[in-house]
Structure 1
Amino acid sequence: MAPTPSVPAQSSEPGPFVPSEQVLGYGPSGVVGYVARGTSTATKTNTPIIDIPQSITILTKQQLQDRASYSLDQALTYVPGVTVTGGEGNKDAVTIRGQNTSADFYRDGIRDDAEYYRDLYNIQAVEVLKGPSALTFGRGGGGGIINRFTKKADGETIRNLEVVGGSFGKRRVTADIGQAGSDTLALRLNALYEKSEGYRSYFQMERYGVNPTLTWKPLEKTFVTLSYEHYHDRRFNDRGIPSIGAPSFIEGFPAGLASFIPGYPAPTPYYQFFGNTFPTARTNNFARIDVNLVDLNMEHKTDFGLEIRNHTMFASYRKRYANTFPGENVLLFEGPPGGQMEIEGYVHNTPRTNIFNQTDLVYRFDMTPEIKHTLLAGAEVGNQRSASERNLSCFGTPETNLVVNCDGSATAVDAPFLNPALYLPMSYGDPRERRYTESRRRLWLPPGSDRDYEIHRHPRRRALRSFGSDLPRR
């Protein structure tokens, strides 16, 4: 009697929550260490980087960790073609291939253009797409765009707690906890708290964030991801030191020629603050933002290979910053010995509300073994409401018995260069700008052709005094 052939034992181990060849969202693919072999940022389809006719730099999770990049400006410091600027102490601002921008920032492929400092506690990778990109991303994108790819609930078991301490009182703690609750449900939580000081006088920064994420897999090739983030950042707003140029040494130097002669940072201690400190420096100089963001992403792949993606994001930004700063270069032959400059200031509210929805249909097929096609059809609709409300500073001076006068005559005061941290009563009570804008966006990308247009509507734009006098009147 012939022996019965043995039957291989079936593995009882469940498959991965997310198939290895699939990436939730639009992030990089084929990531090994510092190398990512593909991305969806440039083309809205998961495309090998070698086939993308643009320059793109991908900072992977491993690279961000090895360089201890906790903020976006730290991550971008060594990216070719990108220069990180100060952002006036209250926002991320970069130059991409010579184009200045504080708005070409994206989160999982959707516009995140409010002006604030972004932390990377919940970020898996940072992608920098260089060159004009308005065809895909609409307004802006002249020099390129910066896309942050968030950490997703992908079913992996993660238990990560990181505590960081450093010079100038740096204290930071982050947590990353993830797990698959069942075969159809995965959870992940990222959290941050940081309170740090700096080498500049009075500087202090406090920020915290929490980002829970849930992924539901009702079918084998269907994923629904829901995410919420609350992020708060408050810091001392320091505009830096003034400059010394030709008008500082030559009295009566023509103002029209000053721009042709370079100025240089004024020789002063590295910690010296220029501004008003009454009643405290942090009362008059701060940048504060509160971000509340809800993100819903749905992905499905049909049996015949059609990929369907729908992504909706609602974001509320509450931004306010106040600052006093040197409004001119140092005048060495005016005022007390050592010279003087003017100190002025303003407070600015820039709240913004965004809601965007993107739908993409992707189909891939092979015409021959050597010729492969990827078809993309997509649409985006969105609405953005913004406000810009600015008040100038009003100072009380010894000449006015320290009485604060907001009639427009005391928006700046003289300060000695050798003792520029003033202690004068002041208020931000001189209104100069009130602007309210609504922007509607519609983008339709049919197969084989591209169209991009936007509708801007200004229901109420009001200007006070000289600011905004060039605005159209209704």
Structure 2
Amino acid sequence: MSVGLSGVAAAQTTADDTITVIGPRSYRAAETSSSTRTDTPLIDVPQSVTVVTEAEIRDRAAQNLADTVRYVPGVSFAQGEGNRDTPIFRGNATTADMFVDGVRDDVQYYRDLYNVERVDVLRGSNGMIFGRGGGGGVLNRVTRQANGRNSHAFTTQFSGEGGGRVTGDLAMALDEVASFRVTGVYEDSESYRDDVTYERNGINPTLLVEIDPSTSLRVGYEYYDYEFVADRGVSSFNGRPLDVDPSAFFGDPARSPTTTTVNALNLRFEHEFSGGARISNHTRWGIYDKFYQNVFAGAPSGGGANVAIEAYNQATDRNSFFNQTDLTLELATGGVEHTILAGFEFGRQITDNFRETGYFTAISPTATSVTVLVSNPRYTGPIEFRQSASDADNHGAATQYAAFVQDQVELSPHWQAVIGVRYDRFEAELTNERTGAQFSAEDSLWSPRVGLIFKPVENASIYASYSQTFVPRAGEQLASLSAANSPLDPEEWENIELGAKWDILPSLSLTGAIYQLQRTNVAVTDPLNATQLILVDGQQVQGYEIGLSGDITDNWHVVGGYAYQDSEILTNQSAIVRAGARLAQTPEQTFSLWNRYDLTPSLGAGLGVIYVGERFATVENLATPASNVVLGGYTRVDAAAYWTINDQLRVQLNVENLLDEEYFINAHSATNIMPGSPRSYRVALTAAF
């Protein structure tokens, strides 16, 4: 997607009433609460965590969550069938491990950054903090909130492919007690892909009421709606993506819409007691309405001259309610300092799924595909959408009750520990509305976490950690229960990590980690009895990561990293997923480095390079030649220029793929592979008042 986001660099009224449109410049974050649910310096967190700051999002004109993590080691994005975010953490793809302000946001859709202040990217198993899922990592969006200050800015952005977007960020202190803020977006843009368009709008007002110096109430509501074209890219032949123009659309974009509407209410109450204890209660109620239909590429034929076209649609409605209560207490016992966290979480999610298959009635009433020429891969003939015998028509309910406790212990000036455990009671029910069949499962999930930190000096740490999490049989999208799998134990993930963090400068951090991530309790068909499932070891990823972020000087800002990943399927899981295969879209090596340098107070330039090694499109890469599809390695160069005209106006130019490299950025399957964007540009004007 070449439609971009230029983060709103909100002008702020300072003590001397001067206005600046520049916004924060630093690429370094000093602390996070995402990893521990307490405000903790990053150097004291025994886990790989990267914070993508507001300044970095703005300077790179990050377009979406996929672009946000482009410079984060060990994290990438799959195609997601052209209708959803699908991050890959240390080789493990997920459509559900995304959170907003620490609360689960797991519907399959495309998220925007118009109301985002920063994105926290956590690697490794995260069950103790976030509950079920999070086997390889999680993304937590931290949103912009009313904060008692005045800020006013609009950004208008134009895309080289056509169209653009407008974002706004308006905040004001209403009085000494209350403040208000509203962020918004409207976009109508085109793409480098033929007839692919994007239209979205969103608004997110928030209100802060400081009831007294120790008590506050935050209220927020988000309405977000979009309609995109679901684009699943091109097919492959002889182990490589088809050699076609990057703009060529396979199927029919006119009958491939993906739409989502989100309505979400957030309430957060916080109170600090006189003894230093703090209590926080956060409620999020979200109603999601998601639909997508796609007419897309299937398998090739005729020596690669032809390609099948297939079609289906799916609707998902989900009503999610979550309530979190955290109690934090700081105390000292015998010279040892403790930050103790105890809490509870309740969640209830009601989901309806409905899917229909596309039948190509010009061929026959039962034909589920049609063949077209690769040289002319569009299909505009008749398609009838109706349910097949295997299409979903499900109603599901999932309920979770969780309790957790954590102790961050400062044993001495040089030694710290983080010890915690979470218990989840997870209950799921699923009704097949076509057949009336009902399935249910109840799981008791214990998610421990232990980390030991050694600080030889104040600005450096060495840590070792162990963490564990689970995915219930209902699956990450709560629709996978069956008679065969509901009695089985949940999938289990274990992460062992050894790492180091060093603040080279007060504004510049270097991190490194070596890890082993294992997935076990994978359900496969019993080779001795095809009517039942058995549990086997699933996969293992071993690797190391190096990350750099921050400011070398006041004028030079950098972010980037290197990752090595050795991934492997451990046990035969089906006729095509075989032991020894590498995980899908998991390159052995990746490297990235972004620089911004300010030549003068008003002029700056940015330059970035991204290297991604070759990857297999799917995990079936030891099965047949048709599934052994390789996406070649590539190096992409991006650039930017910044001009601050005055305190109220700023112009920004971002160029993606400066050298016009031809490459394939990701895939969903061996027949759904996305070409990368040719050279493209976005121009943004930010105005403050």
Query: Which TM-score bucket, shorter chain as reference?
Result: 0.7 to 0.9
Percent identical among aligned pairs is 35
Q: Does 1:69 align with 2:28?
A: no
Partners of 1:70 and 1:411 in 2: CA distance: 35
Letter in 1 for 2:57: L
Question: Greater CA deviation, 175-184 or 453-462?
Answer: 453-462
Q: Does 1:421 align with 2:432?
A: no
Deviation of the 1:455 alpha carbon: 2.2
What is aligned with 2:314? 348
Equivalent in 296, 302, 310 of residue 332 of structure 1: 302
What is aligned with 1:24? none
Deviation of the 1:470 alpha carbon: 8.4
What is aligned with 1:172? 165
Partners of 2:179 and 2:481 in 1: CA distance: 53
Letter in 1 for 2:302: L
Does the aligned pair in 2 maintain the 1:434–1:464 contact within 8 Å?
A: no
Does the aligned pair in 2 maintain the 1:84–1:95 contact within 8 Å?
A: yes
Deviation of the 1:423 alpha carbon: 1.9
Equivalent in 316, 323, 326 of residue 294 of structure 2: 323
Q: Does 1:388 align with 2:321?
A: no
Deviation of the 1:225 alpha carbon: 0.3
Does the aligned pair in 2 maintain the 1:70–1:121 contact within 8 Å?
A: no
Does the aligned pair in 2 maintain the 1:86–1:93 contact within 8 Å?
A: yes
What is aligned with 1:275? 251
Letter in 2 for 1:415: V
What is aligned with 1:88? 81
Equivalent in 331, 336, 340 of residue 365 of structure 1: 331
Matches within 5 A, 1:105-144: 105-144=98-137
Distance 1:309 1:264, change over 3 A: same
Distance 1:79 1:299, change over 3 A: same
- Find the residue that maps to 2:222 and give its secondary structure: strand
Deviation of the 1:32 alpha carbon: 7.4
Does the aligned pair in 2 maintain the 1:463–1:469 contact within 8 Å?
A: no
Deviations 1:284-313 (A, max 9, x none): 101100000000001110111111100000
Deviations 1:107-148 (A, max 9, x none): 000000111111110001100011111122111110011100
Does the aligned pair in 2 maintain the 1:394–1:430 contact within 8 Å?
A: no
What is aligned with 1:264? 240
Partners of 2:207 and 2:481 in 1: CA distance: 48
- Find the residue that maps to 1:350 and give its secondary structure: strand
Deviation of the 1:469 alpha carbon: 11
Partners of 1:392 and 1:222 in 2: CA distance: 54
Distance 1:202 1:464, change over 3 A: farther
Partners of 1:426 and 1:447 in 2: CA distance: 55
Deviations 1:447-473 (A, max 9, x none): 6662322322315234579xx998329
- Find the residue that maps to 1:139 and give its secondary structure: coil
* TM-score normalised by L of structure 2: 0.57
Letter in 2 for 1:355: F
RMSD over aligned CA atoms reads: 2.3
What is aligned with 1:236? 229
Distance 1:447 1:73, change over 3 A: closer
Q: Does 1:442 align with 2:401?
A: yes
Letter in 2 for 1:472: A
Question: Greater CA deviation, 358-367 or 95-104?
Answer: 358-367
Matches within 5 A, 1:405-420: 405=365, 409-420=366-377
Equivalent in 181, 205, 224 of residue 217 of structure 2: 224
- Find the residue that maps to 1:80 and give its secondary structure: coil
Partners of 2:480 and 2:373 in 1: CA distance: 33
Partners of 2:480 and 2:259 in 1: CA distance: 28
Distance 1:433 1:299, change over 3 A: same
What is aligned with 1:309? 280
Letter in 2 for 1:131: G
Does the aligned pair in 1 maintain the 2:167–2:183 contact within 8 Å?
A: yes
Distance 1:165 1:309, change over 3 A: same
Letter in 2 for 1:340: N
Deviations 1:50-97 (A, max 9, x none): 111101000111111111114211111111110122211111111101
What is aligned with 1:457? 428
Q: For the pair shown, which has the larger CA radius of gyration, 1 or 2?
A: 1
Does the aligned pair in 1 maintain the 2:340–2:405 contact within 8 Å?
A: no
Q: Does 1:98 align with 2:108?
A: no
Does the aligned pair in 1 maintain the 2:226–2:259 contact within 8 Å?
A: yes
Q: Does 1:290 align with 2:261?
A: yes
Equivalent in 370, 376, 379 of residue 344 of structure 2: 379
Letter in 1 for 2:119: V
Partners of 1:447 and 1:126 in 2: CA distance: 23
Partners of 1:165 and 1:204 in 2: CA distance: 14
Distance 1:70 1:182, change over 3 A: farther
Aligned length: 408
Distance 1:426 1:459, change over 3 A: closer
- Find the residue that maps to 2:128 and give its secondary structure: helix
Equivalent in 183, 194, 213 of residue 187 of structure 2: 194
Partners of 1:109 and 1:319 in 2: CA distance: 22
Does the aligned pair in 1 maintain the 2:430–2:481 contact within 8 Å?
A: no
Question: Greater CA deviation, 288-297 or 267-276?
Answer: 267-276
- Find the residue that maps to 2:402 and give its secondary structure: strand
Distance 1:81 1:344, change over 3 A: same
- Find the residue that maps to 2:56 and give its secondary structure: helix
Larger proportion of strand: 2
Partners of 1:36 and 1:362 in 2: CA distance: 22
Does the aligned pair in 1 maintain the 2:392–2:432 contact within 8 Å?
A: no
